[in-house]
Structure 1
Amino acid sequence: MRASFSFRRHWNTVMPAFIILVCLLLTWQGAVWLMDMPPWLLPAPTDVIHRFLATSTLGYHTGITVMEAATGFLISVVLAISLAAMIVHSRFLERGLLPYIVLSNAIPIVAIIPLLTIWFGFGMTPRVMICTIVTFFPIVTNTTQGLKSADKRVLEFMHSINATRLEILLKVQLPSALPSIFAGFKIAASLSLVGAVVAEFYSSDRGLGYLIITAATELRTDLLFVAVTVLAALGVISFTFFSWLERKSFRGEGRADQ
């Protein structure tokens, strides 16, 4: 009974988006057929699906992009959360580093890629570094804000019982910062994919970015749609994953409180 109710609830949530998607695809298919558009200008959805099934290297290119984005994201998580913890506990670091963190976010990432390519070559290193750079700002700023939002009364109580900074961080500040941290993760996960693809435009012979550039150069618009659709799906999957992880974390926290 509970499973049936849960299925209906999820279906009612997904159904409007599913119906709109079907209507858009049917309209797209009909417009291409009625206007007799050439495939290089606008392929029909059926052409895109056929290209998706016929592209044997799609999994390989997707795996490369995901690996670059995930590696850069994980490095950024470690660095950003560590730095946020230090900033919260040091007024000097907060005043000294935050302006440069904001400045790094203001620099167009496209301008950095050629420089990193000159320094580190055409391997995976510069692409992972780009993913780390573009994901660093949202994680560090959201984490810093979340750590600062801890209840002052709880912090005062922890200080009164001579708790160490590490104990305060792990038992009070990090749990209260979880909503902000997960918000940063959701933004950064999508940005890591963008960073990987943009970096592949400049310095790669593999990955979804390379596939997009190749398809555009050769006017293989159906392949271009395939690559963009896969990227969109990866973005949705990453956002959904961190939303699920956030719910699981708070559910576990609720059980612990009980």
Structure 2
Amino acid sequence: MMDKKMRSVGRRILPLLIFFIAMVTGWGLLVALWDIPSWLVPAPHDVINRLLRARTLPLHIQLTTTEAFAGFALSVGVGVALAVAICNSKFLESALLPYITLLSSIPTVAIAPLLTIWLGFGMKPKIVTSMMISLAPIVMNTHKGLKSADYRIYELMRSIDATPWQTAKMIDFPSALPFIFAAFKISVPLSIVGAVVSEFYGADHGLGYLVIVSAMQLETDMLFVAIGILAFMGVASFIILSAIEKRFFSWGGR
């Protein structure tokens, strides 16, 4: 059984590794053959050397990770609560859903400066920006999931005099869980984007700050390091959430 699981994991990871190795090899060959300046495109070994020499990098990673996942946690709490309220009120559904859709269409670069002006230069505007950009997928998917159960099941629950709480516990939330986890896979990367963009304005630490400073100083190797770490964070969160979803919610048909 364990061997079968290991083979399954290997089949999923091997294509990723092959593509990554091919991409890095091609990158290194292009830099060497075309003699591209290091300030324009650094070679892979330059990026690795800079990564190993960046002593303050863990602090930047810790700060951005804290902001992103605090914002994500807030978006989960607020988003699920809003979806439940919307599902139980036609008025709220008509009043709030258009604004939630509107919120998802506002560019992060437009929200972040305003929140920095209103909330100051600490972690608050970063967390709120992260929460706002990742909120809409959770509300929309949770709302869709709560509405996905067959109406005949509700008739059955009414026929046995089930309470609203019993119906929610046995029907609504189990039906919504696969949809909620699908939203998580969208919202976690968005929360990272929100934190990073907010760090462009009035921050002195964080990966977003590192990106801006490295770009202004033409430290392209550090810019590649920061972008690579952000890409890794997004991919790793997606893989972890997909594994949890497959392990616990495969019955949801997703």
Q: What TM-score does the superposition give when structure 2 sets the normalisation length? A: 0.94
Runs of 5+ in structure 1 lacking a partner?
A: none
Q: Which residue of the partner structure matches residue 131 of structure 2?
A: 132
Q: Which residue of the partner structure matches residue 95 of structure 1?
A: 94
Aligned amino acid, residue 194 of structure 2: G
Q: Which residue of the partner structure matches residue 193 of structure 2?
A: 194
Which sits farther off after the overlay, 131-140 or 107-116? 107-116
Q: Which residue of the partner structure matches residue 182 of structure 1?
A: 181
Cα displacement string for residues 210-256 of structure 1 (whole angstroms, at most 9, x for unaligned residues): 000011011010000000010011001111121122123226x79xx
For residues 209 and 226 of structure 1, what CA distance do their matches in structure 2 show?
12
For residues 238 and 65 of structure 1, what CA distance do their matches in structure 2 show?
14
Q: Which residue of the partner structure matches residue 215 of structure 2?
A: 216
For residues 165 and 90 of structure 1, what CA distance do their matches in structure 2 show?
14
Q: Which residue of the partner structure matches residue 203 of structure 2?
A: 204
For residues 94 and 133 of structure 1, what CA distance do their matches in structure 2 show?
19
**1:7 CA displacement:** 2.4
Displacement over 3 Å in runs of 4+: none
Q: Which residue of the partner structure matches residue 20 of structure 1?
A: 19
Aligned amino acid, residue 177 of structure 1: A
**1:141 CA displacement:** 0.2
For residues 210 and 96 of structure 2, what CA distance do their matches in structure 1 show?
38
For residues 22 and 241 of structure 2, what CA distance do their matches in structure 1 show?
29
Count, aligned residues = 252
SS across alignment from 1:99 = helix
**1:162 CA displacement:** 2.5
Residue 37 (str. 1) matches residue 36 (str. 2) = yes
**1:44 CA displacement:** 0.4
Identity of paired residues, percent? 48
For residues 121 and 206 of structure 1, what CA distance do their matches in structure 2 show?
15
Cα displacement string for residues 133-168 of structure 1 (whole angstroms, at most 9, x for unaligned residues): 001100000000010001211111112222222221
Which sits farther off after the overlay, 153-162 or 203-212? 153-162
Runs of 5+ in structure 2 lacking a partner?
A: none
Q: What TM-score does the superposition give when structure 1 sets the normalisation length? A: 0.93
Which sits farther off after the overlay, 164-173 or 118-127? 164-173
Contact 2:148 2:175 (C-alpha < 8 Å) held by counterparts: yes
Cα displacement string for residues 76-123 of structure 1 (whole angstroms, at most 9, x for unaligned residues): 101110110111111111111111111222222221222211111111
Q: How does 1:95-134 map onto structure 2 within 5 Å?
A: 95-134=94-133
For residues 207 and 244 of structure 1, what CA distance do their matches in structure 2 show?
28
Cα displacement string for residues 32-84 of structure 1 (whole angstroms, at most 9, x for unaligned residues): 11222211011001111111111011111011000000001001101110110
Contact 2:149 2:175 (C-alpha < 8 Å) held by counterparts: yes
